[in-house]
Amino acid sequence: MSEIPRKSLILSVDQKFGNIIIPWLKEQNLIKTEFKIITHQLKLYIPIKNLPENFSKKKEKYSLETYSIDSKESQHFLQKKEKKKKNSLKDLIKLVVPSELNALIPRSFDILGSIAIIELNREEHLKLRPFIFKIGELLLKNNPHLDSVYEKAGNIDGIYRTRHFKYIVGKKSTITEYRENQCRFLIDIERTFFTPRLAFERNRISNIEINLNSNGIIWDMFCGVGPYLIQIARKYPKNEYIGTDINPDAIRLAKQNVDLNKMNKYNIDFVNLNVANIGENAYHYKLKGKVVRIIMNLPEKNIEFIKILPEYIHPNGCLLHIYQFNEKREDPLEEARKKLEINLTKVNLKIVQILSSRIVKPFSPALETTVIDAIISK
C-alpha cells in the first residue's frame, strides 16, 4: 500500500476510472502485459512495472492504491495470461516474409465485420509492403469469417470524416455488417464514418436512465450510419428520434440499419442534411423547441454548432452529450467543461447539471476525446 519506487506493483483503481488510468499507464508503457487486469468488488487491479510519473497528483484525484507485487494481498490479483493457442498474426506472417523482417511484423490487425484492415504503409513497416498480398491471402485462409482484406491508405479526413482504403485481396466490397451491443450495422468502411472504438461509449449512453418528456425528440446531429440512435431506441422504443448527417451514404445505410434491426415500427427518421442549414429546412419546424436530448459527435467542430441549439431545445431543458478533443497536458475534462460553458453562455444557455464527464479515448499524442453529459436550458 505504500509507494515503492522502481519496482513492480499492483495498482488498484475504481472501475469507473479505468478509462482514464489504463490509457495513462499504457502511454508510459507501464502495464505488465503478461498478467491479466483483475476486476474485484468494483475495483481494477493492474500489474505495473513501476510507479507512473506524477503519481501523487493522480493518486489523490482517483483514489489510487499500490501494493508491492510480492505482498500477500497481491498474489490474489496476479494471474498470468494464458498463451493463445491459435497462431498469432505474427506467427502466420513469419511463414511468408524473410526472417530478418520478423521484428517489423505488426502484432494485430483490425477487423470490421468480414473485412480485415492492415496497415503496412507506415515508415516502420515499409519493408514488409512487397509481401502485402501474400499476407492478405494468409489472413483470408486462416480466418474463415473474413471476406476481404483492405489496407488503410490515409487518415480520417474531410467533411464526411472518412478515409481511403486500398483493396488487397478477397471480395471487392467496402460494405460489411458489424455487430455491436446486440445491434447490427451495415457500414461502408470507405464512404461512411464508423469506429468500433466507440462501442463502450454507445452502450453507456444508451443505458443512461432519464425521464424524458414524452413529447420530446431525441436528435443525433451527426448520426453517421445510426449507431447511437438505434442503440438508444432499443432501450426507449416509445420515444421519437431524428438523426441528421451531411453524408448521403451514411443516411442511406442508417435507414437500412433500421430495417436490419427490425425497428421499422419505431419512430426513427434519418435525414440527409447539413446541420448548418437546418434553419432553411422543413426539419427546422419539426425540431423547434422539442428536443429533449441531443448527441453531438463531431468533436472537431461541435463547439461551432452550439449556436444553433437555443431554437431547438425544449423549454424544460435538454440532455446534451457533447464530444470534444481536449489537451492531454492540462486537465482535459476541465478544459471541455470550460469550453462548453463559455460557448453556451454566448448564446444565453446554461448548464443546469453535469451528469457525468469522461475521457472516451485518446485521439492523438496530444489530445483526448472527451464527452460531457449535461442538462442544459435557457
Ligand X SMILES: C[S@@+](CC[C@H](N)C(=O)[O-])C[C@H]1O[C@@H](n2cnc3c(N)ncnc32)[C@H](O)[C@@H]1O
Q: Shortest Cβ distance from residue 190 to ligand X (Å)?
A: 13
Contacts of 276 (CB under 8 A, 6+ apart): 305, 308
* Beta carbon nearer to ligand X, 244 or 324: 244
Is residue 244 involved in binding ligand X (CB under 6 A)? yes
Q: Does 308 bind ligand X (CB under 6 A)?
A: no
Residues 6+ apart with CB under 8 A from 104: 124, 125, 127, 128
Q: Based on the shown chain and the rule CB under 6 A, indicate whether residue 246 belongs to the binding site for ligand X.
A: yes
Sites for ligand X among residues 331-360 (CB under 6 A):
none
Q: Which is nearer to ligand X, 109 or 160 (CB)?
A: 160
44 strand-pairing partners: 13, 39
Among 151, 188, 240, 245, binds ligand X (CB under 6 A): 245
The answer to whether 321 touches 371, Cβ cutoff 8 Å, is yes
Chosen residue from 219, 228, 241, 266 binding ligand X by CB under 6 A? 228
Query: Which residue from 176, 206, 247, 257 is in contact with ligand X, where contact means CB under 6 A?
Result: 247
Contact between 363 and ligand X by CB under 6 A: the answer reads no
# of chain residues touching ligand X (CB under 6 A): 21
With vertex at residue 153, the alpha carbon angle to CA 152 and CA 157, rounded to the nearest 5 degrees, is: 100
User: What would the grid cell of residue 336 be?
Assistant: 471541455
CB closer to ligand X out of 17 and 165: 165
d(CA 316, CA 272): 28
Q: Could you tell me where the DSSP H helices lie in 82-172?
A: 89-94, 132-142
Q: What is the smallest separation between the CB atom of 265 and ligand X, expressed in angstroms?
A: 23
Kindly state the helix (H) or strand (E) to which residue 61 belongs, with its residue range. Answer: helix 55-62
Q: Which residue in the shown chain puts its C-beta closest to ligand X? A: 224
**Which of the 8 DSSP states describes residue 163?**
-
Segment interacting with ligand X (CB under 6 A) among 145-153, 209-217, 244-252, 364-372: 244-252
**Applying CB under 6 A, which part among 55-63, 107-115, 224-232, 261-269 lies near ligand X?**
224-232
> What is the rounded distance in angstroms from the CA atom of residue 208 to the CA atom of residue 218?
13
CA distance 205 to 335: 21
Q: Which position among 165, 222, 241, 312 is part of the footprint of ligand X (CB under 6 A)? A: 222
- Least Å from the CB of residue 189 to ligand X: 12
Label residue 285 exposed, middle or buried (CB < 10 Å: 0-12, 13-18, 19+): exposed
Determine, following the binding rule CB under 6 A, whether residue 270 of this chain makes contact with ligand X: no
What DSSP designation does 28 have?
A: T
Determine, following the binding rule CB under 6 A, whether residue 193 of this chain makes contact with ligand X: yes
Closest separation in Å from C-beta 303 to ligand X: 13
Q: Which of residues 155-174 bind ligand X (CB under 6 A)?
A: 159-161
**Does 370 help bind ligand X (rule: CB under 6 A)?**
no
Which residue in 35, 178, 194, 241 binds ligand X (CB under 6 A)? 194
Stretch touching ligand X by CB under 6 A, among 37-45, 111-119, 238-246, 312-320: 238-246
- Give me 109's grid cell: 490487425
User: In whole angstroms, what is the distance from residue 233 CA to residue 241 CA?
Assistant: 8
Q: Between helices 18-27 and 55-62, what is the axis angle to 10°?
A: 170
Would you say 12 or 206 has its CB closer to ligand X?
A: 206
Residue 271 CB neighbours (<10 A): 18
Q: What are phi and psi of 315, to 5 degrees?
A: -55, -25
> Considering only residues 1, 153, 210, 276, which one is a binding residue for ligand X as defined by CB under 6 A?
276
- DSSP lists the bridge partners of residue 161 as none
Question: Which parts of this chain interact with ligand X (CB under 6 A)?
Answer: 159-161, 193-194, 198, 222-224, 227-228, 244-247, 250, 274-276, 297-298
